Homo-oligomer: A and B are copies of this chain.
Amino acid sequence: MTAADDRLAAQFAFLNEADRLKSVLRATTLCDGSRRENSGEHSWHLALYALVLADQAGPDVRIDRVIRMLLIHDLVEIDVGDVPIHSANGTAHASAETQAAEARAADRIFGLLPGDLRDDLRALWEEFEAAETPDAVFAKSLDRVQPVMANLQSGGGTWITYDVTLPQLDARVGAKIARGAPRLWDWARQKVAPFFAA
């Protein structure tokens, strides 16, 4: 075994472990309602959102960094599972307990990588979680708008499951979309409002 072989073995230990994200189910369904979405395909869809909706980002957003961030943003769910935005009346997602469990998961999962890659990807995930930089704020906006579009297509989805009101959607979801992509939320809210008025 050479050092290069050891490095490849560590890279593939991580990539093989990442495969398990395809078995983590989210509350949201596919747009056709046929089944629940998994966090692997969700991460792909979000990266495609970033590619296609780049014109909704501010001038200081670097889309390729946003894409990288979205590719890794949910890996901690391999250990922790997905915590739906609207579950526990909207309180579970950002709880201290969830955050501590996700930090432990990040230690384990990014820790499979060679040191340089571990540090780079861990820092990118921390940046996403902190939601302070322009790249992270825009990435979070996309992460919030994609389930809105899926619910619109599937006829309500998690809004029905969790008995969500329009003020709750504004507070839990709309505010975060608007923070990074204000025009996007203006547009999406027009599409969403009739569902809640019905």
Contacts and interface: CB of A to CB of B under 8 A. Distances in A.
Is the interface on chain A under 10, 10 to 19, 20 to 34, or 35 or more residues?
A: 35 or more
A51 interface: yes
Contacts of A11: 52-53
Contacts of A113: 52
Nearest to A62: B64
B16 A153 contact: yes
A162 to B, nearest CB: 21
A131 interface: no
Interface of A is mostly: helix
Interface in A17-39: 18-20, 22-23, 30-32, 34, 37-38
Contact of A19 (B14, B30, B47, B68): B30
A80 B154 CA distance: 24
B18 A45 contact: yes
Nearest to A65: B64
